[in-house]
Structure 1
Amino acid sequence: MQINEQIRDREVRVIGADGGQIGIMSARDAQRIAYEKNLDLVKISPTANPPVCRIMDYGKYRFEQAKREKEARKNQHIVEIKEVRLSLNIDTHDFNTKVNHAMRFLQEGNKVKVSIRFRGREMGHPEIGTEIMQRFAEAVSECGGVEKQPKLEGRHMIMFVSAKTQKPAKKEKEAGPR
């Protein structure tokens, strides 16, 4: 973005600090008007014919823009992939614990990778792994849905579950007496 002396165009369309049109004039005259008001002349549309310049406080403008970008970064949520590992002969309580972990990850807005590692003779029974994966998918169905169906890749069976709502659940802190 060009400001003040960097603007070398012969004629520019000038917009005042209040947002009203001042008109088409030479860049030198526009700079003089900006200096008289202790403001900067900023080229905001270089491709227009003639280029459009605005009289504004450039420092304040940059500060406002940085503030908006910081706010946007603060509000965005990066989706992480969390992994939950199961086994073919998993017990009921262990299974429920893994389901609870996956539900918490999904409520935070993350994706969950569910995997089962087949050892030794377990490779002969991939249908048991598929059955466990389906049971797991049903258990977490209130928080998330299956994004990628269970698939056997080498010795691992992998399934991806994603959160139903994309907005992460924010934890509210109570501002009461302690």
Structure 2
Amino acid sequence: MVIRKVLGSSKSFGEIKNKYLIIDKISHDTPEIIRLVDDTGQSPKEMSVTEALSISYDNNLDLVVINPSVSPPICKMIDLRKHAYTIRKNASEARKKQKTVETKEIKFRPVIDDSDYKVKIKSLTKFLAKGYKVKVDISFRGREIAHKDVGRALFNRIKVDVSDVAKIENETTSDIRHMIMILSSK
């Protein structure tokens, strides 16, 4: 004997529906007596499943099992579509409040002219002022790999020049071809 069938059209409603044990029909494994918690949160009242299903059907609500492990099981009448909507809305608001920090990358070469260096430092400070993290990459090519000391000197020069506006978040020493550090604003 089927008293009420819950229909779900949206994907998220189906996901919500699958998380809860819904009593929408009476079968051989449905308990005869349940404890029903009403909307006010008063102590559960024991009643038959058919009576609880008819009440939930009259109120256009779903009969959901809250705690199936106790005997008789505790059930509550809620509107699952409304519940799914509030869950989606809360998740959407949480995503809006979540701030993602983008990382900008500025590449240097160990042999860089003074004017080019100043332009790159200026753009680095602009990125930091806008709230971005900045990845500084000094890359070596060919015979430059043999002269890592020039790269380290440039690395230290960058640290000194941006020390008033940035803090070093991560400084990896180097692999064969790169020296990398990540800066964030103070």
Normalised by the size of structure 2, how large is the TM-score?
0.69
1:46-104 Cα distance to aligned partner (Å, 9 max, x none): 45555432212221111111111111112223344332101112234433332343344
Q: How many residues align?
A: 164
Pair 1:94 & 2:116 matched: yes
Counterpart AA for 1:124: A
Other-structure match for 1:28: 50
Bigger Rg, structure 1 or 2? 2
Residues 145 and 176 of structure 2 are in contact (CA less than 8 Å); yes or no, is this contact kept in structure 1?
A: no
Secondary structure of 1:152's match? coil
Residues 133 and 150 of structure 1 are in contact (CA less than 8 Å); yes or no, is this contact kept in structure 2?
A: no
Other-structure match for 1:53: 75
1:88-133 Cα distance to aligned partner (Å, 9 max, x none): 1223443333234334444555433211122333223212212222
Pair 1:115 & 2:137 matched: yes
Other-structure match for 2:39: 17
Other-structure match for 1:130: 152
Other-structure match for 2:9: none
Counterpart AA for 1:2: L
Secondary structure of 1:134's match? helix
1:5-39 Cα distance to aligned partner (Å, 9 max, x none): 16834443322123333324343332222223222
Deviation at 1:139, TM superposition (A): 3.5
C-alpha distance in 1 between matches for 2:159 and 2:49: 66
Alignment of 1:52-91 (within 5 A): 52-91=74-113
CA RMSD of superposed structures (Å): 2.9
C-alpha distance in 1 between matches for 2:160 and 2:152: 12
C-alpha distance in 2 between matches for 1:26 and 1:142: 73
C-alpha distance in 2 between matches for 1:46 and 1:101: 61
C-alpha distance in 1 between matches for 2:97 and 2:139: 37
Q: 1:146 to 1:4 in 2, by over 3 A?
A: same
Other-structure match for 1:37: 59
Q: Which moved more, 1:103-112 or 1:117-126?
A: 103-112
Q: Which moved more, 1:61-70 or 1:42-51?
A: 42-51
Residues 128 and 185 of structure 2 are in contact (CA less than 8 Å); yes or no, is this contact kept in structure 1?
A: yes
Normalised by the size of structure 1, how large is the TM-score?
0.72
Q: 1:59 to 1:88 in 2, by over 3 A?
A: same
Give the percent of matched residue pairs that are identical in Structure 1 and Structure 2: 37
